[in-house]
Amino acid sequence: MKFMRVGGVLAIVLVATNVTAGAESHFDADAVRLNNRGVALMGQQFTEKAEQSFAESFERDPKLAQAATNDGIALLTLQKIDDAKKALRAALVLEPGSAQAWYNLGLAQHADNELDDALKSFQQAVKLDPRDVDSYYFEGVCYREMKQFDKAVEVLKQALAIQPLHASSEFALARALQATGDKEQAKEHFKLFQHMTSTKISAAIGLAYGEQGHYSTVTPVEEPQARQRAMIPVKLVAEVMVRAIPPMPQKRVTDGAPTSGAKSGVSTETGGACMLDVTGSGQMDLVLMENGPQAIRVVHRKSGGKFEDVDAAAAGLKAAGRAVACAVGDYDGDNLNDLAVALDDGVRLFRNLGNGKFEDVTAEAGLAARNKPTGITFVDYDHDGDLDLFLTGAPMKDGDTPNVLWRNNGNKTFTEWTADTGLGGTGKTASVILTDFNNDRAVDIAVTGNGAAPMLFVNPREGKYPQQALYESESLPATEGIAVLDYNKDGWMDIAVTHAGSPGLTLWRNVAGQQNVGRRFERVSLPLTGATRGWGVTAVDIDNDGWIDLAAIVETVAGPRVKVFRNKGDGSFEDVSSVLGLDAVKLTAPRGLIAADVDGGGAPDLIVTQENAPPVLLRNVGANKNHFVRLDLSGYADNKTAIGSKVEIFANGQWQKWELAGASGLATQAPPQLLIGLGEADHVDLLRILWPTGILQDEIDLPHTQVIAMKEADRRGSSCPVLFAWDGHKYKLVTDVIGAAVVGHWFTPTRRNIPNSGEWIKVDGDRLASVDGKLSLRFIEPMEEVNYIDQLKLVAVDHPEDVEVNPDERFLDDPPFASGRVVASKGARLPVGAWDGEGRDVLDVLSRSDHKFASGFTATPYDGFANTHYLTLDLGDVNVSKPLKLLMTGYVNYFSATSLYAAWQAGIKPISPYVEAQRPDGTWLTIPGDAGFPAGLERTIVVDLTGKLPEGTRKIRLVSNLEIYWDQVLIDNEPEAETHTTEVPLTLATERFRGYPTQIDGKSPGDLDYDYDRVSLTGPFQHQRGNYTHLGDVTALVKGVDDRYAIFGSGEEIATEFDTAKLPALPTHWRRDYFFYANGYVKDMDWWDAMPFTVAQLPFHKMSAYPYPATEKFPDDAGSIEYQLKMNDRFDSGEPVRSYRFDYKLMPSTPADDLTCGVASPAWPVSSAQAAHE
C-alpha cells in the first residue's frame, strides 16, 4: 500500500504494483470491490463507512479472510474492542498464518489490558514474520507492563538489531532500562529517541489509525481485471486560434534607437503565454507574449466558439519590446487577478481595474530591471498572505544573479529581496515552478536552466534558501520546461522536465532520502525514444480518469510533436499520442504547452504556443464522458488567487493530489483553476484544501456539479487555551488564559517575544458553583496549539459586597510583567467623558460591561492592526497624589506572528497602548511605560497611574494601533479595600480528549464565546509532531512550577477539581470570587513562529530566549528524564488520518463525569482505541 501524508493527511490507495492480499479467482468480485472500497474509505477517515464495507464484503464472501482482518482493524479504530477481537479471530480461523491478524488481535487485547493474551499474539506475529520490528516492540511493551523488565530489554534490543532506527523501541528500551535502575543507559536511549523523532529519521508508534505499525493498516485485495482499464475514446483536434498579425511599422524613441527589445517591426509570438480573464467576461482569455511595439496580445473566445483578438493596448496592456513570459495573480488583494509580464530586458506589472481595464503600475510598485528575464511567477514565498514576484533569466552584468525575487510589501509596492533569501542562483536560468516537494507546508521553488540539473530552492521559512539539485549522477543536457504532478498517488509531488537535447523529457519520482532524511528523486522510465530536445511540458488528466498524465513538446527527426503519456495506474506510462490523433498535427516552432478547459465543457484541451506562428488549440473531444470537476479557489487570509494551495480529492475510492502552482511548463501559466478528472465517480466524497498559510479545510459529500467555487474559511488556527467554569447548570466560558505565554513569536527580524508564563484570571463567584464540595473548571485547547502547563491553582478572594476585585494583569511587551496581586476597588466610577479615535462620544458605551464596544479605528489588512487611534477620557476631578487606577474591560483581536511580519514589511510597527496626559495648553505629554492591554478575550485589566500624572490633569488618552475593543472603563481614586485570600486545593487534574466546542462569533471581530456542550470530535486543525503527556491523571504535574508540564494539544483539555472543604465562612455582607492561575507556555502553528510544527523544544522557565541557544538546554537531570519517559509517552506524528471538518453534536458534560477515564466521550477523532502508553 501507499501511505500519503500531506499536510496532516494520510490516504491509502490501491496501486497495482503494491503488495496486496493475494488475489484468488474464487473470491467473489463484489466482495473484493467492497473490501477495496473500505480500504479507500479508511484512508479518508470515513471509518464507520469503511467498517460497514468490510463487514458487507465478508458477509458476501465468508472465505475472504482479508475482509475480516480489515473489519477488525476498523472496529479497533472505532473502539469496539470486543467486536474487533471477534472479527480478527474469524480471520485467523481462515488464515492462521496471518501475521497481520495476530498483530491486530494483540493490539485489541493490549487495549483491553489482557497482557498475557496480547503477549502471546505478538509472539505469534513475530514467529510468522521474524523481521517485523513492530511486533517485537509490542512484545517488549507487554513485558515492561508486566514488570518483566529484563525480558523487555532483551526483546527491545532484538527489535533495534533488526531496525536500528525504530524510534518507539528506543523509547520503550529507555523506559525498561530506567525501571531496571540503569539510568545512564536510559538517558542515552532517550536522547536517541529524541534525535530520531525531531529529525524525522523515524516516527514513533502513535495512537492514531495508520500509526501503530504497518500491520495496523487495512489491506486491499488485488483486482486483476481493474489494474489497467483502457482509455475511453478521446481525440485531440487541432484548430488555429487566430491568424498571424501583419507586420507593423517600427516605432522609435527620441534618440533614434529602436523601442526596447524590438528586433524588427514585425510583431511575432515568442512562445510565452498565460491565461487571464482580461475582458471581465468571466472566462479565461489567452495572453500571448510577442516581439514588437505592442508586445502583449490578447485572444478572446467568443460565445460561438470562435476566437478573436482584443485590443490589448486599449485595455491598458501596453508594452514594447520582446515579451517572453507572463504571470497571473492578485498581488494587491482586491479579488481581481493582475498581470506581470517579463520582457527580455525588464518586467512590467499591470493592475487589474476591472471591467476589462488595466493600469501599468510598474514604477509606483517599485519594480525595475534586475536581470534579463526568461520566466516569471507569482509566489507567496514567505506565506504572509500576499503574492511576491520571482523571475528567472540571465544576469544583467558580471556579478549579478540570474534570478530575482521581489518581496510584496503588502502596500502595493515591492522590495528586491534576492540576496536576503539566497534565491539568486547561478549561470542562466529558464523556467520556474512552485511546489512543496518535501511536504513541510512551506512552498519551495524549482528552477531549470543551463546548470547540471534543475535546482530546488528549499524554503527555510526564515533566512537563506538551501539548494538541492534534482539529480546528481545523471549526465543530461540543460533543462527547459518544468511541471509537477503526483503521478503515483503517494502524496509527494514528482517533477517532469524537458531538456535542450536528448532524451527531451524526463520524469523524476519523489522518494525518501537516505535514512529517511529529506527527499530525493529517482528517474522514471517513459516510453519516449528518438526525441532530440524538449520544450513545454504540463501535467494533465487527458481522459479524466482520475490518474494524472503527462504531455510535452519534443523535437524528433520527423519534426516537432506534442506527446501525451497516459498514466496506466501501475507506475508506468503509455504513449497515446497516435491514438489521440497527434501524429497528424503539423506544428511550426512549438514552445509552450498549456492545459486548460478552453470551452468549459469539462475536457482538458491543450494550447500550443509557437515562435513566429499563431497558437494552436488541441481541442479535447471525448474526455468529458468521464466525470470531472473544475475547482476555482479563492483565498481569504491567503493570497486571493490561492497560488500555493494543495488540493486533495477523494471520489468513489480514488484519491488524487494537485497543487495550484502559478507558472508551469516553459514561459507559460495555465488558468488559476484546477480541472480534475473523476473517472466513473459522479460526486466528490471529500475535498481537502491546505491553504498556503496552513489552514486546512474539508468539504464532504459535495453534490455532482461541474464547477466548485471554494472560498477559504475565515478562521484562525491560533488562540490560547480557554477556561470554562461549572455554574451549577453547565460549563460556561470564563475567558482564554496565558495568551502572553506564547513562545517563539516573531516580532522583528532580530527579535522574538519574551513570554510571560503566568496569568491570573478572575472567575466571578456566581459563575462557579460547588458540587459535593468541589469546584470544577475545564481548561481546553479549542484550536491548534500545543500547551505546556506547569501549574494550575485556584484562590478564593473574599471581600465586602461593595468592593470589586481584579487581578493586576495585562499584556506587556517586556518584563517586569504585571504582579497578579489582588486589586480591591471600592467606589470605582465612570469617567466624566469618553471619546473614541473618530471623536464620537462613547461614554454610554463604556458605562457597562455588555459586549457593546468602543473602538473608533479602521482595521488594516494585517490581523490585529488598525490605524493609530485614541481613546480619550475625561477623568473629572481626581487627586493625582492618591492611588489612581483605570479598570478597563475589553479584549484584543490578536495579531499573529504572520500579521506582525506582514505589517513589518509594510513599515508598520505595533504600538502597544500608552497613556498621554493633556497639558493646560492642549498639547499632550507621554506618560512613561506601557499601559498594556487585555491578553485575549474579554477581561478587566488594571492600569496603575498612581504618581504618574501631572497635577491638575483632567484628560488623558490611550494611544495604540492595535485592534483593542473596550467594553467598560472605570476610575478608582481610592485606597484599596480589605480582602482575604485562601488557596483552594487542587484534588484532581485529568488530561483527556474533549473535542472542539462550538465557537460563537460576536458582532465585533474576535469577540468569541463557546458552547462547551455542543462539540465536534473533529476540526480543521493540525497537531504538532512530538510527545504529549499521556491521558489520565496529571495532578502531580500541575501542582508546582518545576518544568514538568502536562502537555496537551488540539481538542484536548485538563479537567480540574478543587476542594472547598477548608474554605472559611464568609463574614456578613461579604462575598467570594475566585482567581484562577495558570503557569506554562503555549506554542502556535503560525508559519512565522519558531519551530511551529513540533512539540520540541520544550520550553523552561530559565531559558533566555525561545528557541534557546546551544549553550542552554531543557533540564536533563535524572528526575527530568524520568518525568519525560514516564509521563510524555503519547506520540503524535502530526500526520495521522484525521478529519478536518467540524461535525457538531450535543454532548453535555457535568462535574459528575468520570475524570479518571482517558477521554470525555466514547469516540476518539478517528484515532485508535489503543492506550498504548509507549
Q: What band does 19 get if pLDDT is binned at 50, 70 and 90?
A: very low
Q: Where are the alpha helices (DSSP H) in 228-347?
A: none
Interval 509-557: pLDDT, tens: 999 998 778 899 999 999 999 999 999 999 999 999 999 999 999 999 9
| DSSP-based three-state secondary structure for 658 | strand
Question: Which of 262-266, 696-700, 768-772, 921-925 shows the lowest per-residue confidence on average (mean pLDDT)?
Answer: 262-266
Asked if residue 1167 has pLDDT above 50, the reply is no
Asked if residue 221 has pLDDT above 90, the reply is no
Asked if residue 265 has pLDDT above 80, the reply is no
**CA 50 to CA 62: how far, in whole Å?**
17
Could you check whether the bond before residue 503 is cis, i.e. omega within 30 degrees of 0? yes
Interval 926-951: pLDDT, tens: 999 999 999 999 999 999 999 999 99
**CA 796 to CA 12: how far, in whole Å?**
54
SS3 string, 897-962, reads HHHHHHHHHCCCCCCCCEEEEECCCCCEEEEEEECCECCCCCEEEEEECCCCCCCCCCEEEEEEEE
Q: What are the boundaries of each domain within the chain? A: 17-226, 257-655, 717-732+745-796+982-1174, 828-973
The closest alpha carbon to 1121, from 193, 200, 147, 196, belongs to 193
Number of H helices, E strands in the chain: 14, 67
Asked if residue 701 has pLDDT above 90, the reply is no
The residue type at 428: K
Per CATH, the number for 17-226 is 1.25.40.10
pLDDT reported for residue 795:
99
Ramachandran angles phi, psi of 1162, nearest 5°? -75, -5
Question: Which of 189-203, 286-300, 728-742 shows the lowest per-residue confidence on average (mean pLDDT)?
Answer: 189-203
- Residue 150 parent element (H or E): helix 149-162
pLDDT reported for residue 817:
97
Q: Under CATH, domain 257-655 is a member of which superfamily?
A: Integrin alpha, N-terminal (2.130.10.130)
More confident residue, 653 or 1055: 1055
Query: What's the average model confidence in pLDDT over 365-391?
Result: 97
Asked if residue 182 has pLDDT above 60, the reply is yes
Interval 648-700: pLDDT, tens: 998 887 889 999 999 999 999 999 999 999 998 888 888 889 999 888 888 87
Residues 428 and 422 sit within 8 Å (Cβ to Cβ): no
Q: What band does 1155 get if pLDDT is binned at 50, 70 and 90?
A: low
Mean pLDDT (the chain) is 91
Q: What band does 1166 get if pLDDT is binned at 50, 70 and 90?
A: very low
Q: What band does 834 get if pLDDT is binned at 50, 70 and 90?
A: very high
Ramachandran angles phi, psi of 930, nearest 5°? -80, 140
- CA–CA distance from 307 to each of 239, 242, 310, 314 (Å)? 10, 6, 10, 18
Interval 82-121: pLDDT, tens: 999 999 999 999 999 999 999 999 999 999 999 999 999 9
CATH topology of domain 828-973: Jelly Rolls (2.60.120)
* Eight-state DSSP code of residue 938: S
**CA 931 to CA 727: how far, in whole Å?**
33
pLDDT reported for residue 7:
33
pLDDT reported for residue 720:
87
pLDDT reported for residue 1010:
97
Q: Helix, strand, coil % (nearest 5) of the chain?
A: 15, 35, 45
pLDDT reported for residue 704:
65
The residue type at 983: E
Residue 152, burial from CB neighbour count under 10 angstroms (0-12, 13-18, 19+): buried
Looking up cell 475510492, which residue turns up? Answer: 653
More confident residue, 1136 or 284: 284
Interval 991-1033: pLDDT, tens: 999 999 999 999 999 999 999 999 999 888 889 999 999 999 9
pLDDT reported for residue 13:
33
Could you check whether the bond before residue 373 is cis, i.e. omega within 30 degrees of 0? no
Asked if residue 847 has pLDDT above 60, the reply is yes
- Residue 249 parent element (H or E): none
Asked if residue 843 has pLDDT above 90, the reply is yes
Copy the grid coordinates of residue 473. 549522477
Asked if residue 64 has pLDDT above 90, the reply is yes
Asked if residue 3 has pLDDT above 80, the reply is no
Q: What band does 467 get if pLDDT is binned at 50, 70 and 90?
A: very high
pLDDT reported for residue 330:
98
Tell me how crowded residue 1090 is: count the other CB atoms within 10 A of its CB: 20
Asked if residue 1158 has pLDDT above 50, the reply is no
pLDDT reported for residue 317:
98
- Residue 601 parent element (H or E): none
Interval 407-435: pLDDT, tens: 999 999 999 999 999 999 999 999 999 99
Copy the grid coordinates of residue 1032. 489520565
Question: Which of 262-276, 571-585, 758-772 shows the lowest per-residue confidence on average (mean pLDDT)?
Answer: 262-276
Angle at 276 between CA 274 and CA 281, to 5 degrees: 150
Interval 751-798: pLDDT, tens: 999 999 999 999 999 999 999 999 999 999 999 999 999 999 999 999
Residues 1011 and 1000 sit within 8 Å (Cβ to Cβ): yes
- CA–CA distance from 811 to each of 744, 757, 820, 870, 1085 (Å)? 16, 11, 11, 18, 21
SS3 string, 1044-1059, reads CCEEECCCEEEEEEEE
Asked if residue 161 has pLDDT above 90, the reply is yes
More confident residue, 20 or 315: 315
